[in-house]
Structure 1
Amino acid sequence: VYNVLGKEVATLANGEFESGRHSVDFNASDLASGVYYYTISAGNFSSTKKMILMK
C-alpha cells in the first residue's frame, strides 16, 4: 500500500500463494484518511488500484 507521494506505508502479503481466492486483513488504524494505492502482482500480471480510506 502506497500513499499519494509513492511512499510504501504497508505490506499486506508477500510470498507465494496457491491459485484460488485469498483475503488479507488490513489494519489501517495508523494511517490518516485519504487516497492510497495498492498493487497486486502474480506472475506476469500486475495491477495498481486506488482506494479511499475514510475514518
Structure 2
Amino acid sequence: DRNLLVGIKDEIRPEVPAAFALAQNYPNPFNPTTEIPYALPVNARVEIAVYNILGQKVRTLVNHAQSPGYYTAHWDGRNDAGQLVGSGIYIYRINAGEYRAMRKMILLK
C-alpha cells in the first residue's frame, strides 16, 4: 500500500474571521525574520508598518486592499532601504479600515 499521510489539520477555523485581529509575532524575540499573523473580517485597505522605539517608521510590510481572510506578514529585519536594523524593541501597527492595533516585538542579534 503506497498511501501516505502527509499532514493533519488540527485547527478548524472559518474561512472568514468574525473580527479584525492582530496576533503576536512569532518567533519573538526573533533573528533575523519573524511572522505577523492578522485577520480581516471584511474587505479593507490594510497597512502594516514597523516602527522603532522612537516612533520612526522603519518598514512598510503591507500597503494595499485585501479581501476577508487570514494573513501573515513577514519581516526580514530590514528597513525600507534594504538595510538590516539593529537589535531592539520594535512596534508593529495595523490600520485596516477603522481597525487600529499595535504590538511590541524584539529583535535580538
TM bucket (normalised to shorter chain) is: 0.7 to 0.9
Bigger radius of gyration among the two: 2
Question: Match of 1:13?
Answer: 62
Answering whether residue 75 of structure 2 is matched by residue 26 of structure 1, we say: yes
Question: Match of 1:36?
Answer: 90
How many residue pairs get aligned? The number is 55
Question: Match of 1:46?
Answer: 100
> What is the Cα-based RMSD across aligned positions, in Å?
1.1
Structure 1 or 2: larger strand share? Answer: 2
Higher relative contact order (CA 8 A, sep 6+): 1
Deviations 1:1-55 (A, max 9, x none): 0001111110101011111011122110501110000101211110011111112
Task: Please state whether the residue corresponding to 1:9 is helix, strand or coil.
Answer: strand
Percent pairwise identity? 40
Distance 1:3 1:53 in 2: 11
Q: List structure 1 segments (4+ residues) > 4 angstroms apart after TM superposition.
A: none
Amino acid at match of 1:2: Y
Distance 2:74 2:55 in 1: 22
Could you tell me which runs of 5 or more consecutive residues in structure 2 were left unpaired when the two chains were aligned: 1-49, 79-83
Output the TM-score relative to the length of structure 1: 0.88
